[in-house]
Amino acid sequence: MLPVSGTIARGFIPYVYPNTVEAYEQAGLYLKNPIAFSEAVEKDGEVLYGKFCVHCHGTTGAGDGKVGAKLPGPPPAYNGALKNLPEGKIFHTITYGKGSMGPHQSLLTQEERWKLVYYVQKLQGPKTVASDSTKAAAPADSTKKH
Ligand code: HEC
């Protein structure tokens, strides 16, 4: 059930980034996970992933879930094209959806979405660039040349 218009449900924190391309980029730069990491939190994320995401994204996040593999544009692999996607963009996309992925803001609390971010990051594996995936990664040795 949605809260009465103009009111806010108890415990609900409004998400300030609107559903726009600009806000998606901003979220990628500035939005950080407010929940402290722990293995228990990541485990909660894994359980949520099994309920809400695995049928499209697949067990390892390769985009080969039963439903995902049949989509005209299957989800990109977390550990591939999405490897360096920053946490803020992961949260933003879980919230609003993207392409054929639907929004999850009415299905999952913010806390649940942030727990999922930790689990998606586990599936991404170690990042190969520090921050924003939309900026081309400089070769690792580019600063070492004189
Ligand atoms: C109906 C299938 C479907 C479901 C369910 C789904 N996704 Fe997706 N997801 C996609 C597709 C397709 C894309 C690629 C969207 C695009 O870039 O156009 C995507 C993209 C993403 C991305 C990359 C976003 C970006 O900014 O490029 C993340 C992260 C993600 N999904 C996480 C999740 C999580 C976590 C869940 C579970 C809460 C989930 N998805 C549920 C299909 C799905």
Mean pLDDT by 10 residues, the chain (146 residues): 62 83 97 96 98 98 94 94 97 96 96 98 89 48 49
Cβ-based neighbours of 78, under 8 Å, separated by 6 or more: 57, 61, 62, 85, 120, 123, 124
Of ligand 1's atoms, which has the minimum distance to the CA of residue 24? 26
What pLDDT, on a 0 to 100 scale, did the predictor assign at position 104?
A: 97
Tokens linked to 113: 């979405």
- Tell me what pLDDT residue 127 has: 87
Tell me what pLDDT residue 8 has.
60
Separation CA 23–CA 45 (nearest Å): 24
Which protein residues are within 6 Å of ligand 1, measured from CB?
Answer: 52-53, 56-57, 67-68, 71, 73, 75-76, 82, 85, 89-90, 93-94, 98-101, 104, 116, 120
pLDDT at res. 128 = 87
| 107, 52 contact by CB (below 8 A) | yes
Residue 8 in tokens: 């806010």
pLDDT score recorded for residue 45: 98
Say which residue the tokens 């099994």 belong to.
50
The reported pLDDT for the residue numbered 69 is 87
CA of 77 to the centre of ligand 1 (A): 10
* The pLDDT of residue 12: 62
